[in-house]
Structure 1
């Protein structure tokens, strides 16, 4: 059977989960429709999802339609859970992007569509909620064309839109082709271009085949319409997914290759690895180890998604998705078997907010640590920092909704009552110039049986932290080399001001060891002192996270928003006016623009729109200093560092 692995994506409240529910129902995979408002949909299975009416975790389910199996990943629509969307995108063959006909293109819609276009993931667009008052599908289409520069072909036309009597006409399928469609297809299809120029007849079959072909390539976006809540347009969408998105054969041949795209826990706390298989077959009792790892895991259970249910089986074949038990050392992103060129690595954003977590009862500290580590296993971007000296815990988050969910999850699952400190922005550190530092064995400030030499060099913004060893593994053994590398990345988690170090190339230049006395611990303990000395000499500067923004307001509010944005240290890339709307595009610090969307809605009576998406880090003005308390030992304070290390060694 052919398989399509798709994601259902949308801005929050566009109707994404309702679309998924009706695809399952119309295909016959479920016998009873659930509703988000009633908390009984198939994909929102967590109690918190049912009570809040939002998707928090990406969930996978499957249906069959006309001989094709479709695995669906229903993703969250709220920006605070964008990491769930990112992890889903890497394993998709195609996508369905749901847009509300009333609200139109919203912030999350823009972010998702941009990344779908960049990754060339074939996508079908479904304009939902045609029955809502003020629904305007044509406005959505125009916005997609003019603002997102999308090449799209409307398959449907809405009649009596904005009323309960709304219906759809299949323009393309009823052999009615608008002139715009010929022009769009002519840009992609030379055979249609030739006939169009020569004014030759172009058959409906040629048009439809061209739409399907270029949709499967990710060059064209067919647009379907309907009302998911009533089922209008769902059958047409089922056909569209089969025809316009690429299929893969369920083939078990070749070397095993798959990837873990989600980690969860069963009711009895067993680790569950969600796998997308690309080729080969994995079977019960097969053994695998994480790439470059040593520990071997044995598969104890395999489940596949089938017609709205999970079914236990004895194998999982290439092209399909499933849940594997027994891979206890595997994490999200780990490869099963050998790598595959089809595995994508999108990077939509990183958490830019940080908050301290505390508990009311001291005896719950261990519960808190364990609960957060379990959540971090399911969401690697949560990034827990545990200060064992001060006995404090910090987590990195995307927003306050995510913070509320974390609190609810730990309360319901572990019985922990949490407190959060005020949310702070996450800054980063980098260096200004190239420098080096070294330590001689048995030097005055080096009690370790090791000597190291490091060089640090600034990189371009956004390149991250890179490490290179120029020390031959034939000279310095793998265990010593690993100890140095681990210490380098651990040390760079907090720099001079306490923030993570980035955009730096660290080169391990030289080393000396004693063949009898030296241990990996000597190199692990010495590395932080020497590396931080080099970073200190290279002069550190701070970086702040910024958004790329797009603001639209009525013309009369234009002068006020310009002043507001200037006060928030925004920089403008484009300004203008269109249809009595003043717009500005540019970049703005996250710290200064917190909650500006609420302020904007207030003085524009809800007419102002402030879209933002994470852009990256830029230099913080020199007169602004942002620091945070450090946890653990500070290698720059060599006297205290050595005293504590010596004490630990003696103990």
Structure 2
């Protein structure tokens, strides 16, 4: 079956923003105006198409990325609506990895909020071109210019307004198109489906002139031809300005800014026009680069149906009716349902059962997929998020996604014996779907420990176990993911000798440990000379040290940011073995850490509290009592913002405490910032047992 939409008329976009900026509301209007939905779904009523999970409908937030497809002006737009809550950052990460463009939604009142910064950085990481939509222009305190100023100062972006609001707050009735120099006024009785184009009101003429000059200035920076015309005093047409803005957007030199109110059905159609006009199609972006399977050379795939097939799995979902669904983005070539693909990450050949086009949780079976398409496959058994599937004769390995490490853990146990077996199956299926959710068993207590990105993340996991898998569970108190490090340099020796009658075991190493740069992780240096330790035993020494790092000397937490230098040792021609040197390396590392002034590190969260001014003193005092450092304060219309760095261990139950202190009038957001040394003397290391610890092979071999 041939392609129905030309590749240059395809757009793969994501809707990204801070929680409650209006992403899903905007997406629902897009589905309505493009004819996918016959009525508008509302987040606050629990009827939004894209928020299809029960937990999403109850809480009024997006938890999982939902994909859909719509047609606008003969262009096919594949949309992924992403979550805004910090606990579900991984959903944004994996979506942006496979998208060609994004719409960043900002609240006109809140402006650039903490999670806006996080998702913007993620888009920068994958070099995703984006346009901005300043939503909620009808709200009290809405400020379009301030929002753009915050984009410059906080995101280091180059926002270029191509629209200006016509009225604001309760008088907001439409937008002014600064390129076409016309006013677009929406009719409320048709839910914004109909609008009139009028001349710009006289009181806005000067504003339009000022902003058009800024557009021409930005166009000159983006396009040399426009610059030449400007220098020679020639007239620049609207079409030339649009072409220059498109060029600048795709090159990530500028961000076109539009405005509106999705909830009041104003400004969504011009946003769709901007998606088509300024965001790239798969042919506008550079060909995707990957490696040969042995990573010895670079492979390149252009977005072309005639190229060998290559795609990236970006999401796994368990469906009660069809089993495991693997969402993938096709970068090159085409694929037919029922054919075989090669998983170059796992190096296995698998058969695709059926191909599906997704619309939230509804699905439509399709026969083929082509370059630039986003679809789901049924029948792939051995895939995980980040795997590459490709043509077996022309293999390529695409770059996978990096996901943050969990920062919080809880113990979980089944309520009944009947739940015991089902719980293991349910947890493994949920872990397959979510790369930031981990499971392991505590070696000392045999308890099952689950870890994730925050309290809400784990709460949703337990809730899904109950609803989707009918598994009841009791959950313990949250545990923080502490880490350990060292403060100074130290030397140590590790000698492992065992005689058992036959061939013995002999391994002997001398090492130096010292702190490495913050965030550098584990650095291993081999300074052995003269064959003191044979080459084949160096790698086992490094492996033994790595395993010893999983359980530190202070409280059994993982050790980070350490440099280890192996400088001396000895071996026995008969008794030495890889396992002996592995154990010797582990012993030496433990001994060196004890001498190097070990320290406990804790995760610190960036907290932003929005509250009425009269509660400022009480809330600041409370944050200080939680070992928080106040970073700054900011006044906004009717509210105050407090920004602070607070240890995660002090933030459990903060939502309830904040509500009681502010009569329910304050809100807060937090996301992970960094690890720092524990300052509180109240943490007793001698009695603390690490629920994250996994017993390593060196420990097992000695028991």
Task: From 324, 328, 339, give the equivalent of 1:285.
Answer: 339
SS in 2 for 1:240: helix
Distance in structure 2 (CA, Å) of the matches to 1:632 and 1:120: 37
User: TM-score, normalization: structure 2?
Assistant: 0.76
Question: Quick check: 1:290–1:330 contact (8 Å CA) kept in 2?
Answer: no
Per-residue CA distance 1:341-375 (angstroms, 9 max, x = gap): 7x57465x543222221232244233222222221
Distance in structure 1 (CA, Å) of the matches to 2:556 and 2:363: 46
Is the deviation greater in 69-78 or in 165-174? 165-174
Q: Which residue of 2 aligns with 1:179?
A: 210
Q: Which residue of 2 aligns with 1:333?
A: 386
Question: Quick check: 1:454–1:506 contact (8 Å CA) kept in 2?
Answer: no
State how 1:606-621 maps to structure 2 within 5 Å.
612-621=670-679
Q: Which residue of 2 aligns with 1:155?
A: 162
Q: Which residue of 1 aligns with 2:426?
A: 371
1:405 aligns with 2:467: no
Question: Quick check: 1:160–1:167 contact (8 Å CA) kept in 2?
Answer: yes
Distance in structure 2 (CA, Å) of the matches to 1:153 and 1:617: 37
Question: Quick check: 2:547–2:696 contact (8 Å CA) kept in 1?
Answer: no
Distance in structure 2 (CA, Å) of the matches to 1:105 and 1:263: 31
Question: Quick check: 2:323–2:378 contact (8 Å CA) kept in 1?
Answer: yes
Q: Which residue of 2 aligns with 1:321?
A: 374
Q: Which residue of 2 aligns with 1:355?
A: 410
Distance in structure 2 (CA, Å) of the matches to 1:199 and 1:126: 33
SS in 1 for 2:102: strand
Q: Which residue of 2 aligns with 1:223?
A: 257
Q: Which residue of 1 aligns with 2:299?
A: none
State how 1:24-173 maps to structure 2 within 5 Å.
24-117=31-124, 119-163=126-170, 166-173=173-180
Is the deviation greater in 306-315 or in 69-78? 306-315
1:263 aligns with 2:316: yes
Q: Which residue of 2 aligns with 1:461?
A: 518
Task: From 495, 498, 519, give the equivalent of 1:442.
Answer: 498
- Paired residue total: 634
Task: From 689, 692, 696, give the equivalent of 1:628.
Answer: 689
Q: Which residue of 1 aligns with 2:598?
A: 540
Per-residue CA distance 1:8-59 (angstroms, 9 max, x = gap): 1122333222222222232233444433344443322323333433221112
1:380: how far off?
A: 1.8
1:247: how far off?
A: 0.6
Indicate how the Cα distance of structure 1 residues 130 and 557 shifts in structure 2: closer, same or farther if over 3 A, else same: closer
Per-residue CA distance 1:420-478 (angstroms, 9 max, x = gap): 22223221112343556544563589998674758555321112345689999xx989x
SS in 1 for 2:411: strand
Distance in structure 2 (CA, Å) of the matches to 1:12 and 1:65: 27
Q: Which residue of 1 aligns with 2:474?
A: 419
Q: Which residue of 1 aligns with 2:202?
A: none
1:392: how far off?
A: 0.6
1:124: how far off?
A: 1.6
Q: Which residue of 1 aligns with 2:436?
A: 381
1:262: how far off?
A: 0.6
1:303: how far off?
A: 2.5
Indicate how the Cα distance of structure 1 residues 253 and 506 shifts in structure 2: closer, same or farther if over 3 A, else same: farther
SS in 1 for 2:56: helix
SS in 2 for 1:380: coil
User: TM-score, normalization: structure 1?
Assistant: 0.82
1:23 aligns with 2:30: yes
1:242: how far off?
A: 0.7
Question: Quick check: 1:429–1:500 contact (8 Å CA) kept in 2?
Answer: yes
Distance in structure 1 (CA, Å) of the matches to 2:637 and 2:79: 39
Question: Quick check: 1:448–1:526 contact (8 Å CA) kept in 2?
Answer: no
Distance in structure 1 (CA, Å) of the matches to 2:396 and 2:441: 33
Distance in structure 2 (CA, Å) of the matches to 1:611 and 1:599: 14
SS in 2 for 1:17: helix
SS in 1 for 2:498: coil
Is the deviation greater in 79-88 or in 458-467? 458-467
Question: Quick check: 2:507–2:571 contact (8 Å CA) kept in 1?
Answer: yes
Question: Quick check: 2:343–2:388 contact (8 Å CA) kept in 1?
Answer: no
1:227: how far off?
A: 3.0
Per-residue CA distance 1:564-609 (angstroms, 9 max, x = gap): 5555444566678899998776644333455667766766778877
SS in 1 for 2:375: strand
Question: Quick check: 1:439–1:446 contact (8 Å CA) kept in 2?
Answer: no
Q: Which runs of 5+ in 2 are unaligned?
A: 1-5, 183-204, 284-302
Q: Which residue of 1 aligns with 2:484?
A: 429
Indicate how the Cα distance of structure 1 residues 264 and 517 shifts in structure 2: closer, same or farther if over 3 A, else same: farther
Distance in structure 2 (CA, Å) of the matches to 1:576 and 1:611: 15
Distance in structure 2 (CA, Å) of the matches to 1:116 and 1:106: 16
SS in 2 for 1:390: coil
1:394: how far off?
A: 1.6
Indicate how the Cα distance of structure 1 residues 635 and 259 shifts in structure 2: closer, same or farther if over 3 A, else same: closer
1:389: how far off?
A: 4.6
1:395: how far off?
A: 1.8
State how 1:432-581 maps to structure 2 within 5 Å.
432=487, 433=489, 435=491, 437-440=493-496, 442=498, 451=507, 453=509, 455=511, 458-465=515-522, 491-496=548-553, 497-505=555-563, 532-533=590-591, 535-536=593-594, 538-548=596-606, 566-571=624-629
Indicate how the Cα distance of structure 1 residues 43 and 130 shifts in structure 2: closer, same or farther if over 3 A, else same: same
